[in-house]
Chain A
Amino acid sequence: MTESGKKINLSNNQTPMPCLKPEERVDNFNEVEKGYDKFSAENEALRCLNCVSKPCVTMCPVNIDIPGFINNICSGDLDKSYSILYNYNALPAVCGRVCPQEKQCQMACVRGRNGEPVAIGRLERYVADNHKKLNLKPEPNNGCKVAIVGSGPSGIACAKELATLGYSVTIFEALHSPGGVMLYGIPEFRLPKKILEKEISDLACLGVNIQTDVVIGKTLSIDKLLGELEFKAVYISTGAGTPKFLGIPGETLPGVYSANEFLTRINLMHAYSQEYDTPVLQAKRTVIVGGGNVAIDAARCARRLGSEVTIVYRRTETEMPARKEEIVHAKEEGIKFLFLSNPTKICAENGKITHMQCVKMEYLVNESSQEKKLCAIKNETFDLQAECVIIAIGTSPNAIIKDSCSDIEFDDRGRIKVNDETLRTSKKRVYAGGDIVTGAATVILALKYGKKAAQNIHKDLIASGDVTT
């Protein structure tokens, strides 16, 4: 018993989360993890010691009051629990599913010192999926308009904060639906689109207006937003959406996709369903190049389209940046992994891919500096038979804003330069955050930037007299 009278679940292991069995999931796009029921959630919530130091809160990029929301699960008040989550995070159902908890909150959990950490992500998801709908309504309007460019997590977080402060917020989205990478990148079996739609629809309840099919820098310029259209500030959260390629021979052959193209065909355009018009290559064997979440997502999608799938990663398994649970799921689904292997050429006959040439890699240690360096092993090459190759080696910022707005400063990697504290860009009244500033990162980090930008925009608009408090 603790001070509050709460029983503690002393088990060193996390309460398991029910999952579809591999054979139940490899031929469809249904969500793999099914989420806790009430009993499991309460059982797991009771593992939280509500410790004094709360290292989980410190490690969370948006500092969610984690023990606070967990305690309300124990007391059965899910609505209270959700309002705590939503206060810090505009997308709890998304983050519960896609955050790399093992590198953030759960890494710091004191229960992890002697067993498994509290399953914070699973609990977050449980609360987000099972609470009653919040009674959200627009705040009294303060008469000030703010434009947000891009409807990914950073834009959504910024919109939510600003709407809560009474701003009239419009999000401009280039695609035909909002959500950014959460929509076109993360597959249905990991983040069902109806979950995402529900979280985005909460923005509409707060009075946020989302305009799809508008490319800022093409359809409307930033100067037009700030001038004729009378927005008092602009937040640029256009992400890092442009795919990188390896630069090896054969990469422009038909049958080679960027992971973005492959995932967009499937997630945004529903190419896996006969009812939709967008097609996708149905290959017998698919090779994925890369080791991040995007590589795993693409591999698992290809598996679901009936392909035999191999992931080729140039480093070792422990270095894979992908979320651990997803690597486990991918293995269960029969996806093969080749580590310390790097592609050198994609080969074709009569315009159709036949195989990919690879070279084995090794770490060489520099004796004086003890630095490890990844090198190709001479003559240790091998061929991988495949009809489809998917390149998932990362993305870089999109260049449309850069090409269209000469008074915003960018660094040599195409990222917008901002003041770290204020998130102001070199252009007056224009702010930026998320992947367009950091390079490709996580949903939660993008959310953090969105919130921070909103607070700074508010502060600056008060200072400039555009808003009176």
Chain B
Amino acid sequence: MMVEIIDKIALNKYTSKMVLRAPDIAASAKAGQFVIIRIDEKGERIPLTIAGCDIDRGTIDIIYQKVGFTTYKLDYKNKGQSILNVVGPLGRPSELDGYKNVVIVVGGSGCAIAYPQAKALSENHAKISVICGFRSKDFIILEKELKSISDSFEMVTDDGSSGNKGLVTDVLQNKIKDGTADLVIAVGPLPMMKAVCEITKNFRVKTIVSMNTIMIDGTGMCGGCRLTVGGETKFACLDGPDFDGHKVDFDEAILRSKDSSNSKPFCGKDCNLFKGGLK
């Protein structure tokens, strides 16, 4: 089933948003869920978060940063063209009901996941503090959107090119020490989520993390997304992608994420590989 790209908007040099026509997915998607896409006959299946949806227009948004073979290949697609397969919404929706004071710690393209969560929380009238971390100003996405729905917003960059120079964890410490936060959401690179959880564990604040793993089918069939949570094997596609961050075995997940045998060898920049295959 071909899915049309209604719009494509560059969010920065490395990251773009696509608006896809997928009325059935838009009608049932909730914050925290994702789709699996396959660009063409030769393509691999990769999971991408549903960063937004418009039920009336029957569209969903996906946001991708060009990091590997398939995201680079995806970026060759433009408005008016199609993606061969899009299936979803997959995974369990984030459980966000009942929280009053939430700190969202987000790194890099994790904003694509955090933004719909923040939006759902703001609709529930929760007080929202956002702490955003990026490598540099060139990697910033969704700043305006996150600001517009948060009660406080702080940004740090690794090099100080925007906001303060530093790490999200430095800011987090100050944010939760008064003990008013009833939930921390951490979305971003695994080492960042691990570091966040180490801090929130000390302050005994419940912490939800979003586990972005390798997946093929996204429906519990391959087991490639398995991880250990509280000593049990869980599937990110069926049981997640959200988990209690204090129970996740991050070291194991980091080891699995470094496995290069599951990614196609790729030079890491726009290359001639795509030019023959994409029309």
Q: Are A279 and B264 in contact (CB under 8 A)?
A: yes
Tell me the complex Cα distance, A200–B228, Å.
39
Asked whether A252 lies within 8 Å of B226 as measured between CB atoms, the reply is yes
Whether the pair A261, B28 counts as a contact (CB closer than 8 A) is no
Q: Taking the complex as formed, is A464 at the interface, i.e. its CB lies under 8 A from any CB of chain B?
A: no
CB distance from B32 to the nearest CB of A (A): 13
Q: Are A258 and B217 in contact (CB under 8 A)?
A: no
| B220 pairs with A242, CB closer than 8 A | yes
A277 touches B259 (CB 8 A): no
Q: B90, B222, B258, B264: which contacts A264 (Cβ < 8 A)?
A: B222
* A175 contacts B by Cβ under 8 Å: yes
Tell whether, in the assembled complex, residue B24 and residue A264 are in contact, meaning their CB atoms are under 8 Å apart.
Answer: no
State whether A351 touches B223 (Cβ < 8 A).
no
B255 adjacent to chain A (CB < 8 Å): yes
Cβ–Cβ contact A264 & B227, under 8 A: no
The B-contacting residues of A in range 157-183, CB under 8 angstroms, are 174-176
B5 to chain A, nearest CB (A): 16
Contacts of B100 in A (CB 8 A): none
Known: A218-B90, A400-B219. A212 touches B85 (CB 8 A): yes
CB nearest neighbor in B for A242 = B220
The reply to whether B43 and A277 contact each other, CB–CB distance below 8 Å, is yes
> Chain A nearest CB: distance from B44 CB in Å?
4
Contact A214 B222 (CB under 8 A): no
B residues within 8 A CB of A184?
A: 217, 221
How far is the CB of B230 from the nearest CB of chain A, in Å?
14
**A175 pairs with B217, CB closer than 8 A:** yes
Q: Smallest CB-CB separation from B263: which chain A residue?
A: A279
Q: Is B73 an interface residue (CB 8 A)?
A: yes
Find the A residue at minimum CB distance from B222. Answer: A261
Residue in contact with A174 in the complex, picked from B217, B224, B227, B263, CB distance below 8 Å: B217
**21 pairs from A and B in contact (CB 8 Å cutoff):** A175-B217, A176-B38, A184-B221, A218-B88, A220-B28, A242-B220, A243-B223, A251-B233, A252-B233, A253-B256, A255-B261, A260-B222, A261-B222, A261-B224, A277-B70, A277-B264, A278-B264, A281-B261, A282-B261, A351-B259, A398-B221
* Residue B42 is within 8 A (CB to CB) of chain A in the complex: yes
B220 and A400 contacting across the interface, CB-CB below 8 Å: yes
B-chain residues with CB within 8 Å of residue A214 when the two chains form the complex: 24, 87
Instruction: Give complex CA distance A21, B137 in Å.
Output: 61
Q: Using Cβ atoms and an 8 Å threshold, which residues of chain B touch A219? A: 24-25, 28, 87-89
Does A276 sit at the interface, judged by CB under 8 A? Answer: yes
Chain A interface category by residue count: 35 or more
Task: Tell yes or no: A24 within 8 A of B by CB.
Answer: no
Q: Does A30 contact B (CB under 8 A)?
A: no
A104 to B220, CA, bound (A): 32
Residue A269 interfacial (CB < 8 Å): yes
A184 to B263, CA, bound (A): 20
Cβ of B85 and Cβ of A254 under 8 Å apart? no
Give me the interface of B with A, judged by CB distance under 8 Å. 1, 24-25, 28, 38, 42-45, 69-70, 73, 84-90, 92, 216-217, 219-224, 226-228, 233, 235, 238, 249, 252, 255-256, 258-259, 261-265
CA distance A176 to B224 in the complex (A): 18
Task: Evaluate contact between A213 and B85: CB separation under 8 angstroms.
Answer: yes
> In the docked arrangement, what's the CA distance between A427 and B103, Å?
42
Question: Which residue of A has the minimal Cβ distance to B253?
Answer: A252
Q: How near does chain B come to A211, taking the closest CB pair, in angstroms?
A: 7
Is A275 located at the chain interface by the 8 A CB criterion?
yes
B73, closest chain A residue (CB) = A277
Which residues of A pack against B, CB within 8 Å?
174-176, 184, 211-215, 218-221, 241-243, 245, 247, 251-255, 257-258, 260-261, 264-265, 268-270, 275-282, 351, 398-400, 403
Give the one of A218, A265, A270 with max B CB within 10 A: A218
Residues of B near A253 (CB, < 8 A) are 255-256
Q: What is the minimal beta-carbon distance from A345 to any residue of chain B, in angstroms? A: 15
Closest-CB distance, B234 to chain A (whole angstroms): 10
A391 to chain B, nearest CB (A): 8
A264 contacts B87, CB within 8 Å?
no
| CB neighbours of A254 from chain B (8 A) | 255-256, 258-259, 261-262
Q: Which residues of A contact B69 (CB under 8 A)?
A: 277
- The reply to whether B264 and A176 contact each other, CB–CB distance below 8 Å, is no
Q: Which residues of A contact B44 (CB under 8 A)?
A: 269, 276-279
Question: In the docked arrangement, what's the CA distance between A258 and B222, Å?
Answer: 7
Cβ contact within 8 Å between A174 and B222: no
A247: chain B residues within 8 A (beta carbon): 233
Complex Cα distance, B84 from A258, in Å, reads 27
Are A269 and B216 neighbours in the complex by a CB distance under 8 Å?
A: yes
- Check B1–A218 contact: CB distance below 8 A: no
Residues on A with C-beta less than 8 A from B88 are 215, 218-219
Task: Please judge, given known A-B contacts A219-B88, A245-B223, A261-B223, whether A351 and B263 are in contact too, CB under 8 Å.
Answer: no
Which of chain A's residues has its CB closest to B265's CB? A279
B24 neighbours in A (Cβ, 8 Å): 214, 219-220
**In the complex the two chains form, what is the Cα distance from A446 to B264 in whole Å?**
36
Residues of A within 8 A of B261 (CB): 254-255, 279-282
Report the nearest A residue to B69, measured CB to CB: A277
In the assembled complex, which residues on chain B have CB atoms less than 8 Å from the CB atom of A398?
A: 219-221
Q: Please, how many angstroms separate the alpha-carbon atoms of A398 and B261 in the complex?
A: 27
A174/B87 in contact, CB under 8 A: yes
- CB contacts (< 8 Å) of B262 on chain A: these are 254, 279, 281
* Choice from B42, B43, B228, B238 contacting A252 with Cβ under 8 Å: B228
Residues of A near B259 (CB, < 8 A) are 254-255, 351
- Nearest A residue to B42, CB-CB: A276
CA distance A382 to B235 in the complex (A): 31
Question: Are A215 and B216 neighbours in the complex by a CB distance under 8 Å?
Answer: no
B238 lies within 8 A of A400 (CB): yes
Across the interface, name the chain A residue whose C-beta is closest to B3: A213
User: Smallest distance from the beta carbon of B69 to chain A beta carbons, Å?
Assistant: 6
A213–B216 CA distance with the chains assembled, in angstroms? 13
Q: Are A252 and B90 in contact (CB under 8 A)?
A: no
Whether the pair B87, A215 counts as a contact (CB closer than 8 A) is yes
Q: Which residues of B contact A275 (CB under 8 A)?
A: 42
Contact B219 A215 (CB under 8 A): yes
Within 8 Å CB of A280, what residues of B?
A: 261
Which listed residue, A264, A276, A403, touches B216 by the CB 8 Å rule? Answer: A264
- Nearest 8 CB-CB pairings of A with B: A254-B259, A261-B222, A258-B223, A281-B261, A213-B87, A278-B44, A277-B44, A176-B85
The minimal Cβ–Cβ distance linking B90 to chain A, given in whole angstroms, is 6
Distance in angstroms from B1 CB to nearest chain A CB is 5
> Which of A211, A213, A214, A264 counts the most chain B CB atoms within 10 A?
A213
Pairwise interchain contact A264-B221, C-beta atoms closer than 8 A: yes
CA distance A268 to B224 in the complex (A): 15
Cα-based distance from A278 to B87 in the complex (angstroms): 18
